[in-house]
Chains A and B, each alone.
Chain A
Amino acid sequence: MREVLELEVAGERLVGTRHVPPARGARIGVLLLNAGFAPRDGHGGLSALTADALAARGVPAYRFDLPRLGDSPGPLPARKEDFFEFVTSGGFTDVTTGLVRELCACEGLGRLVLGGLCGGAVTAIFVGAREPARVCGLLLLEPEMYVVEPRIDVASQRRRRPRLLGRLGRHVFDYWGWMRLLADEGPRSRWVPFPRRTVLALLRRRAVLPSVANVPLVNAWREVVRHARPSLVITAAGKMPEIYFDRINDVALRGIDMGAVIHIRLTNTNHIFTTGGAIEAVHSHVLPWVERLR
């Protein structure tokens, strides 16, 4: 059964859904956050179906629209890039921390598993590091550990690069264009003859964080792992978030025991898990993992 739940947190009205288990009295619940700017049910209903499945197994689950998203009111930047910059810089950390505290208090829960896809995973990491007493586990779907593609200042780029190269030159020097090619996410990837995997493996051997690493987020993630907080990470195999996640972990978590982190790689799916039966695959990993935390 689902119920509507409205909470006032830090002056913001948040609209959410409670998935009620057959028996009351659970001490651990699960809170799922918005995937990017999608409403709280998630793409393909991923979050709603996961929460239903958890509740059926006796785990109360909650999904909330953060301010500005879904049914929760608030100001919204027009540009997607500005929104992602807000999320990756931890813009939802304060309100989500307040939400975790409020939920634990009003629902009688001792601790929560916090999770989400993409931007939801980013916020979950920030909050998990800040609120260790109440967040007992992280469910991270496609966490993006890098900052968003920077705004392109066309005028300054033209000044820096020889006009002679023109459009071709802009493509040749486009960092994100190359990453999309390597990650096999660009429409031209299939026509590129070089061995992508080899180039990616060479990049991973570098001992420094990539310049686009979201350093505050990486620090928060290191805190979570260092304290052996149980974390289930699920990524789309070979896609850009996974490539960065691996590379950043190689550098940032060197020497740290990662025994509490489980990393599942789903093949034949996309970033939002809407192909290749990924939603059912997510359930098959999430449900037993959460049950072990109870």
Chain B
Amino acid sequence: MIAHEPGMPLCGIEVPQYLDRGGLQTYVVEHRPAQPWRAVVVLAGPMSLERSNSYLSWVRWARTLACNGFWVFRFDYSGVGESTGAFAEQTFDTWADDLRAVITAARERHPDAVLFVNGLRLGALLGQAVDGCDGLLAWDPPASGRAMLADMLRRKLAADYVDRVGVRKTREEYVRELESGAVLEVEGYAWSRGLWSSAGRHAFAPRGRHHAIYLDGRPAERLPDRERGESLRIGSPPFWVQPNSLVPDLRELFRRSVARLEAWS
């Protein structure tokens, strides 16, 4: 495996662009490898602040894939990052539509290619909700959308405590506010009732050619599906929560993931 390190020449060209979708603009970056390539990989990333925290590693991973013969599409969900749209109007379902749109665009560009989705956190959940791909490689999939949002609310509680901002509440109080229709500011993003209720419709249940890599180093007996999962410890806190390093050591994750995608293609 060729691991792309920051500062190395790119293994091809990178084309940032907007996918126009009837009033919505979805930001997509294509990593086109210079050498012959074997498959297309659509990267579906995490949401909100997890996206910001993981961005450097996510781009490094896309470049590593290009160096190893994969044509990569990565994108931003509506209301997040470079894509347009109001965050408060987004749900897991609108984000699944975003992923479908990018898969469709990738398919139109390469109709005969094998296409995989590689999702991190939210992206792992959404990857199993869409059809049209030949395999899903899920990095640290949450048990469910609600579990993932609850994790973020826990971080909000911790931030409330440390920063001493506003009136401190419990997670249950925040959930009640969401369910009553209030908009809740979490890590700078406006969560809505629609987001919370849509999260309840997404749980991770691998099937077919789905494979999960859990990044908390959990023992094999705690894997939800040993046939379709493995475990790896990448250090704590993980790079999408608070990067301790700008270039965290993810070689083993990259190596296993490239090997999996190569085996599938």
Contacts and interface: CB of A to CB of B under 8 A. Distances in A.
Interface in B167-212: 185, 187-189
Nearest to B63: A73
Nearest to A270: B163
Interface stretch (A247-255, A256-264, A271-279): A271-279
Given A45-B81, A46-B188, A274-B188, A37 B10 contact: no
B56 A76 contact: yes
Contacts of A79: 245-246
B157 to A, nearest CB: 12
B165 A78 contact: no
Nearest to B162: A187
Contact of A43 (B160, B188, B245): B188
Interface residues of A, number: 45
How many residues of B sit at the interface, in one of the four size bands? 35 or more
Interface in A37-55: 37-41, 43-46, 48, 52
B245 A78 contact: yes
B134 interface: no
Contact of A184 (B18, B27, B80, B164): B164
Contacts of A83: 246
Given A71-B29, A268-B165, A270-B159, A76 B55 contact: no
Interface of A: 1-4, 6, 15, 17, 37-41, 43-46, 48, 52, 68-71, 73-80, 83, 184-185, 187, 190, 268-270, 272-277, 279
B17 A4 contact: yes
A106 B244 CA distance: 38
B187 to A, nearest CB: 5
B14 A274 contact: no
A37 B27 CA distance: 20
A45 B188 contact: yes
